[in-house]
Amino acid sequence: MRPICFTGMGHVLPRRMLDNDELPPLDKPITEAQLQRIGVYRRGWAGEGESIPELAAAAALQALDDAGVGGADIDFLIVANWTQRRLLPDFAPRVQQLIGAPQAFAFDVATACAGFVTALGIAEGYLQNPRFRRGIIVGAETTSRVARPHSKATLVFGDAAGAWVVERGEHGHQVLAWELSTDGRYHDAMEINAEGHCVTHIDQKELQQVAVHSFRSASGAVLDRAGFTLDDVDWIVPHSGTAGIQALLLRTLGITEDRVLTNFRSIGNVSSAAIPTALHAFWSDGTIRPGDLVLSPTTGSGWYAGAALYRMGGA
Amino acid sequence: MRPICFTGMGHVLPRRMLDNDELPPLDKPITEAQLQRIGVYRRGWAGEGESIPELAAAAALQALDDAGVGGADIDFLIVANWTQRRLLPDFAPRVQQLIGAPQAFAFDVATACAGFVTALGIAEGYLQNPRFRRGIIVGAETTSRVARPHSKATLVFGDAAGAWVVERGEHGHQVLAWELSTDGRYHDAMEINAEGHCVTHIDQKELQQVAVHSFRSASGAVLDRAGFTLDDVDWIVPHSGTAGIQALLLRTLGITEDRVLTNFRSIGNVSSAAIPTALHAFWSDGTIRPGDLVLSPTTGSGWYAGAALYRMGGA
């Protein structure tokens, strides 16, 4: 396998960010304990000009700029998204147009919250092929649109997009390993109902057990594969999504909160955009530093378990 | 790059197959010339128990049987489909359950009619990774559901699924090269409207020019990459979809009809299922023989141009 790396990052949030007290009133009162388990105090709601292709393009353009390359240098473009999926066409061809990348084979994937790791895995495979030298992977979601109005989900979900420029070679942030698996027994754990709202068909306890197993198995797989243990990892940048799932992740992996970098408290559960968005934010502010080893576990309805392990390159 | 091959094939059609005179009446009369340009005289309409996951699973189970392996031997499962796409979850996890492949990372792709080649390209990348030894790729479509009732499209579209078991190595039918590109200028050439029907926003002449360019560029790319010319190719098994597009393909590539194997006349335009379905049919009946070199070009709204080149292995 030829090594791959990412050489540029970008992320965007919607113009409109809402604190909890700015949200439309909930139809059922929420207890302080519930609010703490959700743990989200601010999130973005995409507005006009902020649909999936536009958010994805904005993040991708930042990543191109960060990598010091142009759209014409891009051979493929993979947009992960499940919150505005279309039958035809995919969204990625529109993103291709918006960023000016005419050579990029452009398509969409979903896999719920695991979409960014899915895109990364496909990219790694493509980059083994001389046909592809450089690509962009994006996680772009408007999760706010699948939250039933006035439901608790409006507290949880937020909109965002995050992107990486990925290349063959070891000159950037090095991708060391990734893992994805599916447990189809839970394929219908969550679905979008006829009204377009996300509903859960699994009890909270069982969901937690599935999530625990996902975090443990996927994180273990990438660490084993790359020859590291959890002690070697400097930072966990997970898709956790809520404080409750985050607490579960900490217990499952047996780690303390000071090694986990997330921003769901201030941007909400942004699903497939979570990992690139948080990584870019904590890299840009200097928390994550060159040489740091980062583990990004994720789970997603499907049921998907995933993780990526990478070593940050020079600033 | 490690070589990859496919070792099993399968395809299914719906129980209900309709001849032209069995279709609900058209709302506008069609001329004989139009009918000849469509060139479809029979097609399948999926009924109960024949939705995307069920058609996909039936084709996949045949392919497993043909390859002589079981579901437990499968590391990944990619289902190409655009005619019943969901927001959440993907269909593939359900297919994973139906075929009993608990180890398979399972997800969906779309890319319109180019979906099977998209799945093949991802599979080739995955099989470079020691994590994946063997997978299943499926094209499964219920295009009849996106045809406006009583429109000409009801003549064109048909439902089907086709699948391959793909593996690392050279012991099966060898995949020599594949190509996919996107021309996002035509991303909105076709779309599904609010009523769920496929509509075209490009005039027929321009569409033909785009299709011509697609066939020529993608076919040229795979032949160049594998070191062959069109003269070396024994059979073209394209996704062409209608007699008009097929005629265009022949003119574009400068080939005679006797080298082209398609079954759209008797099963309709089955989109991403077309290539594996036709290949399996013409392999099973002995038309395509061991050692034959086969080129499969495709186009799809997005706008996608694709092709795959492969050498058939022993019977």
Q: Last residue of a domain, which of A170, A192, A226? A: A170
Is the confidence at residue B171, as pLDDT, over 90? yes
Residue that the structure tokens 């359900």 belong to = B94
Please name the residues between 267 and 286 in chain B that touch chain A, using a CB distance below 8 Å.
none
| B47 and B12 Cβ atoms separated by less than 8 Å | no
CA distances from B163 to A228, A307, B59, B241 (A): 38, 28, 5, 18
Strands B173-182 and B304-311, how do they pair?
antiparallel
Q: How far apart are CA A222 and CA A311, in angstroms?
A: 13
B-chain CB neighbours of A143 within 8 Å are: none
Please name the residues between 125 and 144 in chain A that touch chain B, using a CB distance below 8 Å.
125-131
Question: Hey, is the C-beta of A9 within 8 angstroms of any chain B C-beta?
Answer: no
Same domain for A36 and A159 = yes
Q: Best mutation site among B1, B86, B88 for testing chain A: the one with the most A CBs within 10 Å?
A: B88
CB hemisphere CA count around A97 (13 angstroms):
14
DSSP-derived letter for residue B233 is -
| Domain range for A207 | 174-311
Q: How far apart are CA B251 and CA B211, in angstroms?
A: 12
B-chain CB neighbours of A89 within 8 Å are: 112, 187-191, 301-302
CA-based nearest residue in chain A for residue B3? A129
DSSP-derived letter for residue B269 is B
Same domain for A180 and A145 = no
Same domain for A212 and A153 = no
Instruction: Give the A:B interface size as CB pairs under 8 Å.
Output: 169
The confidence score (pLDDT) of residue A208 equals: 87
pLDDT category at B94 given cuts 50, 70, 90 is: very high
Active-site residue, A113 included: yes
Determine the distance in angstroms separating the CA of A81 from the nearest CA of chain B, rounded to an integer: 9
Please name the residues between 145 and 164 in chain B that touch chain A, using a CB distance below 8 Å.
146
Sign of the alpha-carbon torsion through A40, A42, A48, A51:
negative
Is the confidence at residue B258, as pLDDT, over 70? yes
Same domain for A65 and A180 = no
Is the confidence at residue A84, as pLDDT, over 70? yes
Question: Per residue in B18-75, pLDDT tens?
Answer: 999 999 999 999 999 999 999 999 999 999 999 999 999 999 999 999 999 999 999 9
Q: Is the pTM of this model over 0.90?
A: yes
| A51 and A84 Cβ atoms separated by less than 8 Å | yes
Same domain for B165 and B182 = no
Alpha helix segments (H runs only) across chain A: 32-38, 52-67, 92-99, 115-126, 153-156, 204-226, 243-253, 264-267, 274-284
| B162 and B59 Cβ atoms separated by less than 8 Å | yes
Question: Hey, is the C-beta of A308 within 8 angstroms of any chain B C-beta?
Answer: no
Q: How far apart are CA A292 and CA A233, in angstroms?
A: 8
Same domain for A157 and A34 = yes
CA-based nearest residue in chain B for residue A191? B88
CA distances from A216 to A121, A158, A254, A307 (A): 19, 26, 10, 10
Q: How far apart are CA A284 and CA B287, in angstroms?
A: 60
Same domain for A204 and A156 = no
Q: How far apart are CA A312 and CA B266, in angstroms?
A: 56
Same domain for B285 and B188 = yes
Q: Last residue of a domain, which of A149, A170, A191? A: A170
- Mean pLDDT, chain A, integer: 96
Same domain for B196 and B162 = no
Q: Which residues make beta-bridge pairs with A133?
A: none
B-chain CB neighbours of A196 within 8 Å are: 87
Question: Per residue in A209-232, pLDDT tens?
Answer: 998 899 999 999 999 999 999 999
Determine the distance in angstroms separating the CA of A110 from the nearest CA of chain B, rounded to an integer: 7
Same domain for B164 and B120 = yes
DSSP-derived letter for residue B232 is G
Same domain for B243 and B103 = no
Question: Per residue in A20-63, pLDDT tens?
Answer: 999 999 999 999 999 999 999 999 999 999 999 999 999 999 99
Question: How many whole angstroms from its chain centre is CA A3?
Answer: 22
For residue B81, what is the domain's CATH number? Answer: 3.40.47.10
Is the confidence at residue B315, as pLDDT, over 70? no
Return the SS3 of B203.
Answer: coil
Interface touch B106/A302, C-beta < 8 Å: yes
Determine the distance in angstroms separating the CA of A286 from the nearest CA of chain B, rounded to an integer: 33
pLDDT category at A315 given cuts 50, 70, 90 is: low
User: Which of B209, B184, B223, B187 has the alpha carbon at shortest distance from B307?
Assistant: B223
Instruction: For chain B, give the percent of residues with pLDDT over 70.
Output: 100
Cβ-count burial of B94 within 10 angstroms (0-12 exposed, 13-18 middle, 19+ buried)? buried
Question: Per residue in B119-169, pLDDT tens?
Answer: 999 999 999 999 999 999 999 999 999 999 999 999 999 999 999 999 999
DSSP-derived letter for residue A61 is H
Interface touch A301/B89, C-beta < 8 Å: yes
A-chain CB neighbours of B180 within 8 Å are: 105
Same domain for B21 and B149 = yes
Nearby residues of B263 by Cβ (< 8 Å), 6 or more positions away: B277, B278, B281, B282
Is the confidence at residue A124, as pLDDT, over 90? yes
Is the confidence at residue B257, as pLDDT, over 80? yes
Strands A76-80 and A105-109, how do they pair?
parallel
Active-site residue, A269 included: yes
Q: Last residue of a domain, which of A151, A170, A189? A: A170
What is the mean predicted confidence (pLDDT) over B180-207? 93
| A197 and A310 Cβ atoms separated by less than 8 Å | no
| A192 and B88 Cβ atoms separated by less than 8 Å | yes
Q: Hey, what's the torsion of the CAs at A217, A220, A222, A226, to 10 degrees?
A: -160
| A255 and A292 Cβ atoms separated by less than 8 Å | no
Interface touch A97/B187, C-beta < 8 Å: yes
The confidence score (pLDDT) of residue A240 equals: 87
CB hemisphere CA count around A238 (13 angstroms):
30
Instruction: For chain B, give the percent of residues with pLDDT over 90.
Output: 97
Catalytic residue annotation of B: 113, 239, 269
Interface touch A129/B131, C-beta < 8 Å: no
Is the confidence at residue A314, as pLDDT, over 90? no
CA-based nearest residue in chain A for residue B86? A85
pLDDT category at A170 given cuts 50, 70, 90 is: very high
Phi, psi of B2 (to 5 degrees): -80, 140
| A153 and A198 Cβ atoms separated by less than 8 Å | yes
**Considering its fold, how many domains does chain A have in total?**
2
CA distances from B84 to B11, B45, B80, B119, B192 (A): 18, 14, 11, 17, 11
Alpha helix segments (H runs only) across B187-273: 204-226, 243-253, 264-267
Report the number of secondary-structure helices (H) and strands (E) in chain B.
Answer: 9, 13
- Mean pLDDT, chain B, integer: 96
Q: How far apart are CA B11 and CA B279, in angstroms?
A: 9
Query: Which of A84, A87, A110 has the CB atom closest to B90's CB atom?
Result: A110
Question: Hey, is the C-beta of A97 within 8 angstroms of any chain B C-beta?
Answer: yes
Query: Which of B105, B112, B126 has the CB atom closest to A89's CB atom?
Result: B112
Interface touch A111/B112, C-beta < 8 Å: no
Determine the distance in angstroms separating the CA of B119 from the nearest CA of chain A, rounded to an integer: 10
What is the mean predicted confidence (pLDDT) over B72-99? 97
